[in-house]
Amino acid sequence: MKRILTLGLALLMLILAGCSTEVTEYRQQQPALDIFHYFQGRTEAWGMVQDRSGKQLRSFHVEID
């Protein structure tokens, strides 16, 4: 039980550390991300929505020109 608790705590700390970075730290990165340029032209996406047990509730497919 102690091993599971330690592993869970380590995982929680890792997840929280991933959320600590500020977006402004990447402002000077090259090439700059231009969302409008990135999605220029035809874009296609698909996915699904699941409930907490993993049962699929809905699926979707999107085409944007």
Spell out the domain ranges in the chain: 32-65
Which pTM value belongs to this model? Answer: 0.40
Q: Work out the average pLDDT over 6-31.
A: 84
Location of structure tokens 């991300």: 33
Whole-number Å distance between alpha carbons of 35 and 64: 14
Average pLDDT over the chain reads: 88
Q: Work out the average pLDDT over 28-48.
A: 88
The larger pLDDT score, comparing residue 47 to residue 35, is at 47
The number of residues in the chain equals 65
Whole-number Å distance between alpha carbons of 65 and 3: 52
Angle at the Cα of 44 from the Cα atoms of 28 and 31, rounded to 5 degrees: 15
How far from 12 is each of 9, 16, 21, 22, 53, CA to CA, in Å?
5, 6, 16, 19, 22
Q: Is 16 a residue whose pLDDT tops 90?
A: no
The pLDDT of residue 15? 86
pLDDT band at 52 (very low <50, low <70, confident <90, very high): very high
